[in-house]
Amino acid sequence: MSLAESASSVSGAFDSIPIIDIGHASTAEERAALARQIRDACVNVGFFYIRNHGIPEETIDKVLSAMKAYFSLPLETKMKSKLYHRQGAHFRGYEPLLDSNIDPANRGDLYEGFVIGWEDLVPKEDDGKNTNDDTTIPPNLWPSEPAGLRDAFINYYHAAFGVGKVLHRLFALALDLPETYFDEKLKRCPIMRGLHYPPQTGPEDDRIVGIGAHSDFECFTILWQEPGVQALQVLNSKRQWINATPIPGTLVINIGDLLSRWTNDIFRSTVHRAINRSGVRRYSIPLFIGADPHVEVEPLPSCVSPERPAKYEAINSGEYVRKRLQEMYQRSLNA
């Protein structure tokens, strides 16, 4: 069955999220089998868990500890030294509570975050700065406290990006493309957010939630969520919210709008939200993997047929994501 044919029979009425073990991907046969599972998950749900992803537990523990220490600091400390993410053109740094509003029907998103992009794992010794040789990559903004935050964030970032490189090759196989198809298109641009969601204490119908209903902008997201704290929910075609329950040892993967557009809507970019009514603080780390800014995105030949003609014109990846980010933050000013 072709990709277009497989998508035509999908109902989207899922009631659970599949779990895929990616620990065995050393042979072509193993990768082909994984690609079939991933295709099924992306076409039918748009979300899946992965186990045996390879990120060391110590790496996760250190970044979680750093997040807890940072977000416990006073607001004035987190906002000082030009760390506020709107002060630059690339939204790096600190995001305070209610600073974004991703769902136009809501009044704000009840989370705070710390946002970084690509940076070398080890700073260059010749200049003493934590910057990159490529001047087209915006520099990160680092607070002076807590100690060790940069190392914890960057170590997790690179580990998760390594998972992303495995996944985008599996996505290529799932789309009947050469395994290396995305290698030169998804090289260097992940954005990572360390997020803190306070417990949601307002009324059930309050228009302020952890993060409102939305689909992600980029190609795909790799999400670590703290075990034992339920918040993430995924919307199916019956308008039912399905819990994406944290499962220890797993990451959550979801398709974003850019990859959905690239696949002519064969891969599903599914609406989701986070509402933390657990009574305790929730921490999560999404890594958003998108196409490099220069890449032109248009429906892939394997996703187009006479019965399913191309739905989208070509767009520039960088311009598309910038526009979506500006819309999200502008809504918070108008809410």
Q: DSSP readout, 5-51?
A: HHHHT------S--EEE-S--SSHHHHHHHHHHHHHHHHHTSEEEEE
Is the model's pTM score more than 0.75? yes
Q: Bigger pLDDT: 334 or 98? A: 98
Query: What's the average model confidence in pLDDT over 232-253?
Result: 97
Query: What's the average model confidence in pLDDT over 152-177?
Result: 97
Classify residue 5 as exposed, middle or buried by CB count within 10 Å of its CB (0-12, 13-18, 19+). exposed
Cα 298 to Cα 291: distance, rounded to the nearest angstrom: 12
pLDDT surpassing 90 at residue 83: no
Cα 100 to Cα 221: distance, rounded to the nearest angstrom: 19
Query: What's the average model confidence in pLDDT over 281-293?
Result: 95
Residue 96: predicted pLDDT:
92
Residue 107: predicted pLDDT:
85
The label of the residue with tokens 């999400």 reads: 223
* pLDDT 10s digits, 10-42: 888 899 999 999 999 999 999 999 999 999 999
Phi, psi (rounded to 5 degrees) for 42: -70, -35
Cα 224 to Cα 91: distance, rounded to the nearest angstrom: 21
Residue 222 has which token pair?
Answer: 């790799």
CB within 8 Å of 18: residues ≥ 6 apart: 37, 40, 41, 45, 48, 49
pLDDT surpassing 50 at residue 129: no
pLDDT surpassing 90 at residue 205: no
Residue 130: predicted pLDDT:
46
Residue 6: predicted pLDDT:
72
Cα 177 to Cα 196: distance, rounded to the nearest angstrom: 38
For the chain, strand residue ranges (E) read: 19-21, 47-51, 93-95, 108-109, 112-116, 191-197, 208-209, 211-214, 220-225, 232-235, 241-243, 250-255, 272-274, 282-289, 296-297, 315-316
* pLDDT 10s digits, 107-121: 888 999 999 999 998
Classify residue 57 as exposed, middle or buried by CB count within 10 Å of its CB (0-12, 13-18, 19+). exposed
* pLDDT 10s digits, 146-162: 999 999 999 999 999 99
